[in-house]
Amino acid sequence: MSKSPVEYLKHISDEIDYLAETTESLSEPDFAKNLTLQKAFVRSLEIIGEAVKNLPEDFKVKYSQVNWKSYAGLRDRLIHHYFGVDYGIVWDVVKNEAPALKEKISKIIEVLRK
């Protein structure tokens, strides 16, 4: 039995929360020196992308305010090109794109729970 869209959205939200909490007092230079966090952040982005890929297509069309394709594509690039990960891009996604995604996901969850 497959999960409901809300469950996948919750996985996305949880990963974004982890990223936000971890970067709260972390600078980009410190991130660039921390291999453990680099790998953890990549894994969180992979989970986000995998959750996106598991959402039904009609759901993604209905909630098109999220660029689902870009997150699924990011996951594919991280998994299949692991030897060439640009951690500057990872940092940028985590700091600049993830908060906006969290806001959109939260609104969608709110609508679905009504």
- pLDDT tens-digit profile, the chain (114 residues): 578 999 999 999 999 999 999 999 999 999 999 999 999 999 999 999 999 999 999 999 999 999 999 998 888 778 777 678 899 999 999 999 999 999 999 999 999 988
The 10 Å Cβ neighbour count of residue 102 is 17
Q: How much is the pTM? A: 0.91
Q: Give the active site residues.
A: 75, 80
- Within 24-97, residue ranges assigned H as helices are 28-32, 35-54, 57-62, 68-80, 87-92
